[in-house]
Every structure is written in structure tokens, then in C-alpha cells.
Structure 1
């Protein structure tokens, strides 16, 4: 992303080493989708890609690791300036017992 596309009032976070631009209050999932990142995690068995599906925190397909904390539902967590978001690989714990991060 060039600095000319970065506008004041927006937040910036890192996803897999790339800077992603988000609007204030926008979810991580919405910002990733707008930046054309469609795979947020992979499954444990066959490494199948998963991403933005239900958009309301029910399906757990959008799980990501945020600032080292796994099992955060990208559709529920607002993007924040400076956060580091990583694609989650396989089962990093039971999302139901972890609360899904929010």
C-alpha cells in the first residue's frame, strides 16, 4: 500500500506482514475483505481455506490471531491502529471455550 492511499482518521493494522487500512469502527473482517484478503484461516485436517462467512460471529470461519491471541472472530473485533493480525492455521484451541475473542 502506498502512503498516498493512507488517509488521516483511518486505522492501520498488519496482516501477514502487509499494512491494511480500516475505517474507525470497522471490523477486522470487513477491512480484510475490502483489501481483497479472503482467507483468514485454514482448517487443521486438510488445510482448507476459511474466511468471512456469516459476518455475525456464529460460524467461527473467520478466526484469526490478534496480537498473539488465537481464536479471535475477525467479524466481531474492531480493527485498531497498530494491531498485528495473523492467519490462523489448524486448531489452536477450542474456539467455543476460548470465547472467540472480542
Structure 2
């Protein structure tokens, strides 16, 4: 579905999406990683749990929100993937730590 434009010989690294190890490359945004990882979406809406995927890829639409390294509501299109990063796709209402 999406083609990576970086040099395939460039060493990649692993991030974890919903607990599953996924490969990423330097310069990838977290949104790009989510778009390449089935089911190719970033989150489900809080009320109706409708699937959402990154749309604008420039921080305007907020459809790419996910939990990154335990920080909720991160705009994944604005965050570069780093080795070992933990990404969780929200489903339903957010659970706020107290």
C-alpha cells in the first residue's frame, strides 16, 4: 500500500505497535509506521470507535492521535520514530492516569 522511499540498505530499527515489533527507518514518522502496519490506522474514535487514519500528515486534523511511550494524544505525524518506541492505538475512551 505504501512504498518506502529511503535506501533499503540503510539500517533500520524496531518500534512496538500494540506490543508487536515493527521495523522503522531513520526519518520515519510514527504516522508512517502506523500506515504501514496492519490494520493501517492510527486510532478508533472515543464514542463510536470508528477507525481513523492519518489524513493531513502535517498536524492539522488530529486523526493520527495515538499513545506514544505512555504519553496520550500524541500527533504521530509530527513525531519521528525512535528505536524501541512503544506505540498504542487508542480504542474507545481514553484512560487518564490519576
* Shorter-chain TM band: 0.7 to 0.9
Q: Please say if residues 32 and 38 of structure 1, whose CA atoms lie closer than 8 Å, have aligned partners that are also in contact.
A: yes
Q: Supply the RMSD in Å over aligned alpha carbons.
A: 1.9
Q: Distance in 2 between matches of 1:48 and 1:80?
A: 28
Deviation at 1:73, TM superposition (A): 0.9
Shift of 1:19: 1.1
Q: Which runs of 5+ in 1 are unaligned?
A: 1-6, 94-102
Q: How does 1:5-84 map to 2 (within 5 A)?
A: 9-84=11-86
1:39 Cα offset (Å)? 1.8
Name the stretch that deviates more: 26-35 or 50-59.
26-35
Q: Show CA shifts across 1:1-50 (max 9, x none).
A: xxxxxx77212100012111111011011122123442211111111011
Q: TM-score, normalised by structure 2?
A: 0.78
Q: TM-score, normalised by structure 1?
A: 0.75
Is the contact between residue 26 and residue 78 of structure 1 (CA under 8 Å) also seen in structure 2?
A: yes
Q: Which structure 1 residue ranges, 4+ long, deviate > 6 Å from structure 2?
A: none
Unmatched segments (≥5 aa) in structure 2: 1-8
Which whole-Å CA distance do the structure 1 matches of 2:37 and 2:44 have between them? 19
Residue-by-residue CA offset, 1:31-70 (whole Å, 9 max, x unaligned)? 2212344221111111101111111110000001011100
Aligned length: 87
